């Protein structure tokens, strides 16, 4: 029998970023047996969390200036004071996010999730992918594979049939995914994009069957073998901070260490988080590199625009999360 997807919701966000606390409130709401969470619930949850002090210690070790770094009482005070910020973030989601499965009131968030609503299911899948630290470690690969699938479908439906979209990730079983050792995968990819492999087979560990930090690859079929074709390399990042560095994994400088193509590929980074600071600005904009960044809003927007919700699988972990039925502190 598999381990429980969400064994506990007592682990508070390690960072002060409002988008993470808004996610935490949404997850508490979905999993609470009465389908709601209030300002008072959040304050009580913080006060009763057994992991508060541990989270502070880990946050301080991360060295980010936006972490909450004081003791539990200070965290309680900060969360209480920042409910308005969390509420404002949730209000923006309610107005702009397609398929948002909640109803917001001044001091209460209520779930309106419907298991038959494909938009609701996608939103919850993205929410869980954004909350991996709450998932049992044995279940994380299931969730990250689902997020790679979402990103794959986003690319496949945003482009015409002239584009070939392939999975490159190490743990994917989808048809068309590259197989073999890392060298064999790079050789097959070089052939597909009409490029040249830079390194020799001996430069790679023969036991390495990884993905070279590439999750997705896309190229436009031109009908010939002359090269100079449009290419996209994609990276999927579920961590609230790893996306900052993972953007660089699929830039031309990183790719050309292995494969040389006559035309540099575009770098796409997919994240399940809500990184909107506003319609014109990114949350943590100073960390956004020269990549195409696809966050939660952009993922939802495409599926809404194309009305393509039905192409996504009905992941069982979404139903499991909804039926967690925890009791939030009061």
Compare 31 and 177 and report the one with higher pLDDT. 31
**pTM (two decimals):** 0.89
Residue boundaries of the structural domains of the chain: 18-139+317-322, 140-312
Least reliable range by pLDDT among 76-80, 117-121, 323-327: 76-80
Q: How far apart are CA 240 and CA 295, in angstroms?
A: 11
CATH of domain 140-312: 3.40.1350
Q: Look at residue 69 in the predicted model and tell me its pLDDT.
A: 43
Q: What is the DSSP-derived secondary structure letter of residue 174?
A: S
Beta-strand (E) ranges in the chain? Answer: 36-38, 102-104, 108-111, 163-167, 196-197, 216-220, 231-236, 259-260, 266-270, 292-294
State pLDDT tens for residues 285-312: 999 999 999 999 999 999 999 999 999 9
Which pLDDT band, with edges at 50, 70 and 90, does 220 fall under? very high
State pLDDT tens for residues 131-156: 999 999 999 999 999 999 999 999 99
Compare 327 and 300 and report the one with higher pLDDT. 300
Q: Look at residue 121 in the predicted model and tell me its pLDDT.
A: 97
Supply the DSSP string of 308-325, one letter for each residue. Answer: -GGGS---HHHHHHHT--
Q: Which residue has the tokens 């381990």?
A: 3
Which pLDDT band, with edges at 50, 70 and 90, does 103 fall under? very high
Q: In sequence order, which residues have a C-beta less than 8 Å from that of residue 91 and are 6 or more positions away? A: 104
State pLDDT tens for residues 24-59: 999 999 999 899 999 888 888 887 775 444 443 344
Q: How far apart are CA 102 and CA 113, in angstroms?
A: 7
Which pLDDT band, with edges at 50, 70 and 90, does 200 fall under? very high
Q: How far apart are CA 128 and CA 264, in angstroms?
A: 34
For the ranges 2-6, 8-12, 61-65, 227-231, the one whose mean pLDDT is highest? 227-231
Compare 302 and 77 and report the one with higher pLDDT. 302
Q: In sequence order, which residues have a C-beta less than 8 Å from that of residue 67 and are 6 or more positions away? A: 14, 15, 16, 59, 60
Average pLDDT, the chain: 88
């Amino acid at each position: 029998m598999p381990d429980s997807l969400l064994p506990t919701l007592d682990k508070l966000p390690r960072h002060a970023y409002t988008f993470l606390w808004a996610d935490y409130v949404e997850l508490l709401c979905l999993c609470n047996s009465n389908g709601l969470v209030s300002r008072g619930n959040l304050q009580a949850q913080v006060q009763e969390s057994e992991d508060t002090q541990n989270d502070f210690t880990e946050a301080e070790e991360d060295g980010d200036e936006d972490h909450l770094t004081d003791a539990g009482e200070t965290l309680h005070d900060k969360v209480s004071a920042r409910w308005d910020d969390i509420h404002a973030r949730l209000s923006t989601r309610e107005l702009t996010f397609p398929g948002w499965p909640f109803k917001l009131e001044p001091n209460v968030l209520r779930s309106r999730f419907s298991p038959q609503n494909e938009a609701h299911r996608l939103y919850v899948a993205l929410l869980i992918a954004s909350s991996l630290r709450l998932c049992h470690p044995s279940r994380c690969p299931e969730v990250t594979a689902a997020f790679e699938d979402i990103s794959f479908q986003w690319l496949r439906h945003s482009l015409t049939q002239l584009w070939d979209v392939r999975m490159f990730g190490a743990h994917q079983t989808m048809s068309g995914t590259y197989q073999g050792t890392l060298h064999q995968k790079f050789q097959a990819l070089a052939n597909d994009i009409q490029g040249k492999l830079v390194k020799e087979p001996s430069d790679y560990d023969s036991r390495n069957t990884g993905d070279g930090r590439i999750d997705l690859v896309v190229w436009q079929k031109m009908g010939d073998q002359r090269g100079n074709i449009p290419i996209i390399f994609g990276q999927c990042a579920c961590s609230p901070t790893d996306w900052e560095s993972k953007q660089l994994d699929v830039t031309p400088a990183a790719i050309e260490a292995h494969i040389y193509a006559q035309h540099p590929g575009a770098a796409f980074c997919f994240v399940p988080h809500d990184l909107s600071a506003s319609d014109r600005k990114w949350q943590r904009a100073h960390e956004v590199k020269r990549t195409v960044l696809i966050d939660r809003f952009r993922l939802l927007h495409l599926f809404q625009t194309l009305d393509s919700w039905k192409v996504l699988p009905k992941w069982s972990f979404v139903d499991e999360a909804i039926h967690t039925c925890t009791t939030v502190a009061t």
